[in-house]
Each structure stands twice: as C-alpha cells, then as structure tokens.
C-alpha cells in the first residue's frame, strides 16, 4: 500500500507545505458534484454514454490524487434519484458503467487502503449494481485509509426523510426519548454515520445549484465552482480548488476577531 504507512496529518502536512499552506488551511473532506459528462461528449461529437464512461475513469484518478494528498474523505455525487427521469437507454448505460467501475476499481481501493461507502437508497438499484456495490464495500470494509463515499441513487431530501423515519421508529419502540433527538441524533441516522461534514464542495461545469446534494451536511461547507467539465478535471484542477478554499475564512456563524 503506497500511502497507508503515513497518517492523514502527515500526508496533509506534506501537501500543505508543497502548496505553501498550513495544515489548518487544508480540507479534510471534499465533496464533488460531477457535471459535464454529456457536454464533454457533445463537444467531441460522441454519444453521451462516452462522456459518462470517461467521467468514471476520472473518478479513479481523482480518488488516487486525494489519497496522495492526504484527504480523509471524498464524496462523489454519482447518480441522483432524479436521474431516473433520463431516457431509459442512458440509464441502462449508466448502470452498466457503475457495475463495471465498481468491480474494476477494487484493486485500486485495496492497494491504497481506501474504504468504499454508499450514500443513497441501495434497494432502488438494479440487482447487478446492488451486488457489485455491496461486494466492493464488503471487500474494503477493513481498510483504514481514505473514505470514498459514492452517492448513488441519492437525494438529500430522501436522506432526511429516511433518517426521520428511522428516528420515529426508534422513538415508537422506546429506544429514543424526545430529548435525545438533536442534531447529533439526526447526523447519526443519515446514510453514512461517522462521515464528517464536507469542508469543501466542488461543482464542475459552471453549474450554480446544490441539486439536492448533502442538504444537511453542507450547512457550513465552502463552495467552489469551476467551468471545467468533469472529464477534464485533473490534479491541477483539484489543487486549484484547495488553494481557493485555503483563502476562505470559515466563521461557522461567529464573527472573526483580530
């Protein structure tokens, strides 16, 4: 495992020094809304599916970049609940690409100590995708390095509904008291309990929407919008986003004092 022997702080400190930053200026959890696959294909007179296929290849490259940088968690918006409204042929192609990618990325995840997590309604996925996703998560469950969270069949509102239903059921069963239901309780009932809130949210292809992504978790995330289409997103693109993040002053509702 190329990067497994170093702690996150050691890797982040090394990256920070290379970028001329301090450890405190580095994000630990990055979330990305990956946009622009279709436009990338259109610019090359290719079918949209080829853009999605290239986008899947970029996932592996950017994940490896984040491992090398020392990022603790990377969350990628891969397929939303609303995406089921797309043409059936495109959905079928996307599901096939997901299955193919979930199997193909296993050696990379294992060789780099990466743990795969899933955000979303797994029961709503086609059986082959569900099986490949579950098998890959099981295979990487003992890994202790970066957490790679794939938001697949995901919606922020659906996540909050599902969390609320779990809380209500536990209250009904006497496992929770009314005074136990607070922000921490809600967070613990989201799809990935224990996954820290994102420090930095990147959206590609110059889109200016949240698109129902991590509605609870991004309450104090810093946003970075780039015109770069997802298939053109590189390590340089990632580091440019980190440098922009480093210039922000995160107040979390307070007033900065000198």
User: Kindly report the CA angle at 135 between 162 and 110, in degrees rounded to 5?
Assistant: 115
Tens-digit pLDDT profile for residues 150-203: 999 999 999 999 999 999 999 999 999 999 999 999 999 999 988 999 999 999
Query: Cα dist. 227→18, 29, 241 in Å?
Result: 25, 22, 12
Q: Is 9 a catalytic residue?
A: no
CA distance 114 to 64: 9
Q: Find the catalytic residue in 9, 37, 57, 83.
A: 83
Domains and CATH numbers, the chain: 23-155+197-246 (3.40.1180.10)
Q: Which two tokens stand for residue 38?
A: 């279709």
Residue of 35, 112, 113, 199 with catalytic role: 35
Structure confidence by residue, pLDDT tens digits, 96-105: 999 999 999 9
Give pLDDT, residue 257. 57
Position 258 pLDDT exceeds 60: no
Please write the tens of the pLDDT for every residue from 23-52: 999 999 999 999 999 999 999 999 999 999
Catalytic-residue membership of 212: no
For the CA atoms of 215, 218, 222, 227, the dihedral, rounded to the nearest 10 degrees, stands at: -40
Note the pTM of the prediction, 2 decimals.
0.94
Tokens of 173: 């069963």
Quote the CA–CA distance of 27 and 6 in Å, as a whole number: 17
Cα 257 versus chain centre, distance: 33
**List of residues 6+ apart from 162 with CB closer than 8 A:** 121, 189, 191
* DSSP assigned state of 232: G
What's the CA gap between 149 and 50, in Å, rounded?
23
Which candidate, 28, 35, 1, places its Cα nearest to that of 12? 28
Task: Please report, for residues 14, 20, 108, the alpha-carbon distance to residue 129 in angstroms, rounded to integers and kept in the order given.
Answer: 37, 42, 19
* pLDDT, tens digit (0-9, with 9 covering 90-100), for 58-76: 999 999 999 999 999 999 9
**Cα separation, 156 vs 184, whole angstroms:** 17
What is d(CA 211, CA 208) in angstroms, rounded to the nearest whole number? 9
Three-state SS string over 130-141 comes to HHHHHHHHHHHC
């Amino acid at each position: 495992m190329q990067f497994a022997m170093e702690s996150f702080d050691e890797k982040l400190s090394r990256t920070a020094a290379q970028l001329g930053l301090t450890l405190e200026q580095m994000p630990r959890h990055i979330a990305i809304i990956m946009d622009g696959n279709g436009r990338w294909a259109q610019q090359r007179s290719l079918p949209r599916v080829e853009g999605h296929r290239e986008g899947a290849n970029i996932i592996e490259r950017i994940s490896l970049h984040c491992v090398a940088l020392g990022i603790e968690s990377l969350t990628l918006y891969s397929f939303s609940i609303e995406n089921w409204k797309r043409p059936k042929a495109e959905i079928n192609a996307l599901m096939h690409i997901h299955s193919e990618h979930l199997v193909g990325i296993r050696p990379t995840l294992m060789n780099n100590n990466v743990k795969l997590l899933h955000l979303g309604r797994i029961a709503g996925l086609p059986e082959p995708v569900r099986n490949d996703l579950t098998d890959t998560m099981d295979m990487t469950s003992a890994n202790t390095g970066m957490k790679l969270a794939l938001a697949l069949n995901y919606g922020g509102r659906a996540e909050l509904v599902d969390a609320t239903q779990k809380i209500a059921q536990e209250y009904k069963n006497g496992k929770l008291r009314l005074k136990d239901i607070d922000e921490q309780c809600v967070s613990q009932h989201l799809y990935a309990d224990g996954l820290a809130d994102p420090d930095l949210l990147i959206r590609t292809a110059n889109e200016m929407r949240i698109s129902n992504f991590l509605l609870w978790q991004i309450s104090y995330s810093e946003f970075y919008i780039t015109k770069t289409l997802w298939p053109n997103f590189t390590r340089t693109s990632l580091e440019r986003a980190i440098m922009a993040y480093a210039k922000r002053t995160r107040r979390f509702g307070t007033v900065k004092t000198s």
